[in-house]
Amino acid sequence: MQLGMIGLGRMGGNIVRRLLRGGHSCVVFDTNAASVAQLAQDGATGSQDMADMVAKMPAPRAVWVMLPAGAITEATVTRLGELLQSGDTIIDGGNSNYQDDVRRAQAMASKGIRYIDVGTSGGVWGLDRGYCMMIGGDKPAFDHLEPIFKTLAPGIGTIEKTPGRENRQSTAEHGYLYTGPAGSGHFVKMVHNGIEYGLMQAYGEGLDILKGVNQESIPAERRYDLDLADITELWRRGSVVSSWLLDLSAISLAEDPELKSYSGYVEDSGEGRWTIQAAIEEAVPADVLTAALYTRFRSRKEHTFAEKVLSAMRKQFGGHQEPGKK
């Protein structure tokens, strides 16, 4: 099949490469001409702009947008709505807010343009490992484009079948799933990323406790000089806390045991916030996910005014001095 791709960054470019490897053809565009030229060398057809890309594709067209959520994706989808024809399909494979998908799908439907939202997980490793995809939107469009999703997905691989699923007919075990109407794919991916925040925070806190047991404030007989690189490697093998995130942690600690090349400043890409907003709307307690998000906020600050207030109150009610102050 043929697919248009707008956005040739780390994920967009590798999605194109995986499709090319799978025998599909791709027409690509990016504002960075060098990225277009590189993909053209790999076998894709380059374009000068979106209009040029659309002109090079026979109908019915399918164009995948792989750009950061927000204004740039909004402008790109709007422009594609002006360039494409009835029967064509727009795929948003980035991390857009699911509510934007609902609105865009309705706007495109009035023009006869089909809209699909794809929550895409796999990061920079997806070229070789494949991408886990949560897909919402127009069902006939999904059915038509399923060969694309099947090529991008990891496939069954060596993962054992889950007991009790013998009679279920689903593509889930292949690594892609149609989740329902517009927005549902990005909604599932949003919660997926919220869970990811919590998992990452749990690993981070646990490793921090392991590291901290060797500090001087701990009695000497209970101090342990633990090798975190070896412990994370150990946990990868047969432990109930093994996961791909642990694999990545083990790689990082093997390369840099003290993580000296990192400052600890942690960004959030939006999905964690949206997950908490959804939890509030649904009145679902999400203590762990909320705390993980707030910890990311905290990582970007030096001591806050709020912490100064706490320190001042401790001094007033108990005479407690801050370390280093007399």
Q: Which residue has the tokens 């991916």?
A: 189
- Provide the terminal-to-terminal Cα distance of the chain, rounded to the nearest Å: 73
Give the Cα separation of 165 and 172 in Å (integer).
11
What are the structure tokens assigned to 321, written together? Answer: 């001095």
DSSP string over 100-140? HHHHHHHHHHTTT-EEEEEEEE-GGGHHHH--EEEEEE-HH
Give the Cα separation of 91 and 136 in Å (integer).
10
β-partners of residue 5 are 28, 64
Does residue 235 contact residue 217 with C-beta atoms inside 8 Å?
A: no
- Please say if 189 is a catalytic residue: yes
Report which residue type is found at 201.
Answer: Q
Does residue 13 contact residue 38 with C-beta atoms inside 8 Å?
A: yes
CA distances from 279 to 119, 223, 272 (A): 19, 41, 11
> pLDDT of the chain along its 326 residues, tens only?
999 999 999 999 999 999 999 999 999 999 999 999 999 999 999 999 999 999 999 999 999 999 999 999 999 999 999 999 999 999 999 999 999 999 999 999 999 999 999 999 998 889 999 999 999 999 999 999 999 999 999 999 888 889 999 889 899 999 999 999 999 999 999 999 999 999 999 999 999 999 999 999 999 999 999 999 999 999 999 999 999 999 999 999 999 999 998 988 999 889 999 999 999 999 999 999 999 999 999 999 887 777 788 888 888 877 888 887 65
Nearest 10 degrees: Cα torsion 252, 254, 257, 261 = -40
* pLDDT recorded at residue 326: 57
* pLDDT recorded at residue 197: 94
Helix (H, G, I), strand (E, B) or coil at 27: strand
225's CB contacts (< 8 A; 6+ apart) are 214
* pLDDT recorded at residue 325: 65
For residue 312, count other CB atoms closer than 10 A to its CB.
Answer: 11
* Alpha helices by DSSP H, the chain: 10-21, 33-41, 50-55, 71-83, 98-109, 126-129, 139-152, 184-212, 228-235, 244-255, 271-282, 287-298, 305-318
* pLDDT recorded at residue 290: 97
- Catalytic, out of 146, 173, 196, 233: 196
Give the Cα separation of 252 and 113 in Å (integer).
44
- Catalytic, out of 189, 205, 216, 258: 189
Q: Which residue has the tokens 């993962």?
A: 159
Q: Which residue has the tokens 């164009």?
A: 63
- Please say if 196 is a catalytic residue: yes
Report which residue type is found at 172.
Answer: A
